[in-house]
Structures are given as C-alpha cells and as structure tokens.
C-alpha cells in the first residue's frame, strides 16, 4: 500500500502538474480577474521551474559532496549500488537498454576493477506498478557477467522497491556475509542523504560514494541565468520528490 501511495504522491508532486492545474483553473473559472491572476501565477511558476540557475542553486543545497577516490581507504568488502531507472530490457531483441542513473553502476565497476571493492551488491527490484517482472538488479547482474565480472563477486537484492527496502534487504545480506565489514554506498548525490539515513537505521555504516552529480561550478553566463530549459524542470522534479521522500520517511520513523 505504501508503494502504491508513493507513486500517486509522486505524480501529484510533479511541478508541471501544478502549472497545468493553475492553467485549467484559469481556463474554466468565470471570474475574469481571478482567471487572469491564476494565469499570471501559472506563467511565473513555469518560468521559475524552467530557470536553470534557480534549479541548480536549490539542487546544490541538497546534493551531498562527492567523495574523492584518493580520500577513500584502500579496500572495502563491498560496494552497495542502489538501483532506480538504470536499465530495462527490450524483450523483442533481448537487449539491455541503459537509461538514467547509470553512473552508479559504472562507478561501481571502476571501483571493482581498481581493487577498491571485492564485491558489488546491487539492490533494486522493479520499482514499477506495471512492469513488476522487470527486476533491475537481475538485469544489471547479466550486464556485469558479460563484461567479465565473476558471478561470485556479484550479489543482488531483487526484492526492494524503495530506499528503505534497499537498506533492509541489503543489511541482511551484508551482515550475513561480511560481519563487521567495510562498505561503500554508491548512489546519486541527490539521493545520498536519504540512503545514508536508511542504512544507518539498519546499523550499516557505509562510506558515501556519490555519483551522477547534477551541479558543478556556479555559472553566471546569460543563458544559465535567464534562458529557460526543460532540463531544469526535470531537475526540480527529482529534487522535490527526493526532499518529500526524506520528509515522509522521517515522519514514518524510517530514518
């Protein structure tokens, strides 16, 4: 039930939905003065969410800083890769299709190849209400095998559908196989706050290894300051969902 409700809430928290609701109200409301006011608010809100500078500054405040590889200890028992929109499969051609957040698995492969981690633990079920048999961790395991990573060095949790479940099921595997072990937690920089809190709740203390950072150096050029783009709306969408998720988890006692 929580999973279903989270998907519904996810839709309602999408910024473009807010703009569309305001536009529809402006279209159907009879009072012209109020309709004009709603239209102005909708346009202003749309520009706000499409502005790259504003989106970057808010994301900058939320993202955790990247841990430099040279600052890591020399060795860890496992790297914990949290899934979420990395890969699907084209069943017609039996071909893996890589999507967003793939930096997580690519960084894990690099850490493994450079002997920073012994094992790669992928924690991700389907995460979908529709494609319930599309188990991301299983698909990623298939990919890792094709690039030469031995089967015994790949661990998967294909049950979890959210960050809390990532922590619960990963903790069971890690405590069983590596009691007192050293771990890296590998996920996107904007997702790391909630991920770390969930794993700490399960008594797994892992070093954060942020990937897929959205913002870099602060920019002051005209295009970045004033010219709207759709990428900014997408950034807001991820940020709002993540902050809301963190707050809901805190209220529910998951953190």
On whether residue 98 sits in a domain, the answer given is yes
Residue 80 shares a structural domain with residue 56: no
Is pLDDT of 9 > 90? no
The span from the CA of 184 to the CA of 18, in Å, is 38
Is pLDDT of 142 > 60? yes
Comparing 5-14, 52-61, 124-133, the range with the smallest average pLDDT is 124-133
Mean pLDDT computed over 137-142? 95
Residue 20 shares a structural domain with residue 126: no
| pLDDT band at residue 4 using 50, 70 and 90 as cut-offs | low
Comparing 40-49, 84-93, 152-161, the range with the smallest average pLDDT is 84-93
Half-sphere exposure in the Cβ direction for 63 (13 Å, CA): 23
Residue 107 shares a structural domain with residue 191: yes
Residue 50 shares a structural domain with residue 151: no
Give the model's pLDDT for residue 84.
Answer: 84
Q: DSSP letters of 219-235?
A: --SHHHHH---HHHHHH
Give the model's pLDDT for residue 105.
Answer: 96
Q: Provide the phi-psi class of 51: left if phi over 0, else alpha when psi is between -120 and 50, else beta.
A: beta
| pLDDT band at residue 128 using 50, 70 and 90 as cut-offs | low
Burial 154-176 (b: 16+ CB within 10 A, else e): bbbbbbbbbbbbbbbbbbebbee
Is pLDDT of 108 > 90? yes
Using DSSP bridges, classify how beta strands 95-98 and 117-123 pair: parallel, antiparallel or unpaired. Answer: unpaired
Is pLDDT of 130 > 60? no
Neighbour tally for 226: CB within 10 Å: 11
Q: What is the CA radius of gyration of the chain?
A: 21
Query: For position 194, which CATH number holds?
Result: 3.40.50.620
Is pLDDT of 8 > 80? no
Is pLDDT of 58 > 90? yes
On whether residue 207 sits in a domain, the answer given is yes
DSSP E strand stretches across 23-108: 76-82, 87-90, 95-98
Residue 138 shares a structural domain with residue 77: yes
| pLDDT band at residue 138 using 50, 70 and 90 as cut-offs | very high
The span from the CA of 117 to the CA of 114, in Å, is 8
Domain that holds residue 51: 2-62+227-252
Residue 133 shares a structural domain with residue 35: no
On whether residue 220 sits in a domain, the answer given is no
Q: What is the pLDDT of residues 91-106, one digit of tens each?
A: 889 899 998 899 999 9
DSSP state at residue 66: P
Residue 102 shares a structural domain with residue 164: yes
Residue 48 shares a structural domain with residue 123: no
| pLDDT band at residue 17 using 50, 70 and 90 as cut-offs | very high
Give the model's pLDDT for residue 20.
Answer: 94
Higher pLDDT, 127 or 99: 99
Residue 132 shares a structural domain with residue 201: yes
Give the model's pLDDT for residue 6.
Answer: 64
Residue 146 shares a structural domain with residue 110: yes
On whether residue 15 sits in a domain, the answer given is yes
Give the model's pLDDT for residue 147.
Answer: 96
Mean pLDDT computed over 225-232? 96
- At 87, give phi and psi (nearest 5°): -150, 145
**Distance in angstroms between the alpha carbons of the first and the last residue of the chain:** 19
Q: What is the pLDDT of residues 186-200, one digit of tens each?
A: 999 999 999 999 999
On whether residue 76 sits in a domain, the answer given is yes
Tokens at 170, concatenated: 């990963």
On whether residue 221 sits in a domain, the answer given is no
Using DSSP bridges, classify how beta strands 87-90 and 95-98 pair: parallel, antiparallel or unpaired. Answer: antiparallel
Higher pLDDT, 62 or 255: 62
Number of folded domains in the chain? 2
Residue 56 shares a structural domain with residue 75: no
Mean pLDDT computed over 49-76? 93
| pLDDT band at residue 13 using 50, 70 and 90 as cut-offs | confident
On whether residue 85 sits in a domain, the answer given is yes
On whether residue 219 sits in a domain, the answer given is no
Residue 207 shares a structural domain with residue 231: no
Helix 103-113 / helix 136-146 crossing angle, nearest 10 deg: 40
Mean model confidence pLDDT for the chain = 91
Give the model's pLDDT for residue 200.
Answer: 96
């Amino acid at each position: 039930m929580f999973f279903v409700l989270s998907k519904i809430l996810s839709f309602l928290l999408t910024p473009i939905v807010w703009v569309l609701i305001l536009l529809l109200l402006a279209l159907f409301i009879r009072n012209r003065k109020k309709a004009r006011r709603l239209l102005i608010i909708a346009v202003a809100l749309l520009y706000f969410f499409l502005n790259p500078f504003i989106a970057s500054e808010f994301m900058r405040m939320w993202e955790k800083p990247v841990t430099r590889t040279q600052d890591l200890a020399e060795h860890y028992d496992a790297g914990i890769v949290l899934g979420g929109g990395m890969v699907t499969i084209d069943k017609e051609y039996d071909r893996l299709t890589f999507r967003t957040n793939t930096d997580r698995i690519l960084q894990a492969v690099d850490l493994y190849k450079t002997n920073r981690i012994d094992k790669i633990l992928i924690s991700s079920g389907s995460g979908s209400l529709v494609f319930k048999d599309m188990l991301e961790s299983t698909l990623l395991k298939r990919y890792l095998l094709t690039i030469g990573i031995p089967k015994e060095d790949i661990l998967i949790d294909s049950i979890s559908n959210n960050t809390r479940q990532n922590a619960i099921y990963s903790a069971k595997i890690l405590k069983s196989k590596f009691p007192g072990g050293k771990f890296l937690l590998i996920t996107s920089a904007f997702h790391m706050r909630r991920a770390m809190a969930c794993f700490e709740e399960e008594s797994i203390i892992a070093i954060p290894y942020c990937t897929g950072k959205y913002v870099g150096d602060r920019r002051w050029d005209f295009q970045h300051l004033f010219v709207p783009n759709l990428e900014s709306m997408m950034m807001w969408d991820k940020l709002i969902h993540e902050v809301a998720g963190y707050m809901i988890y805190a209220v529910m006692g998951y953190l």
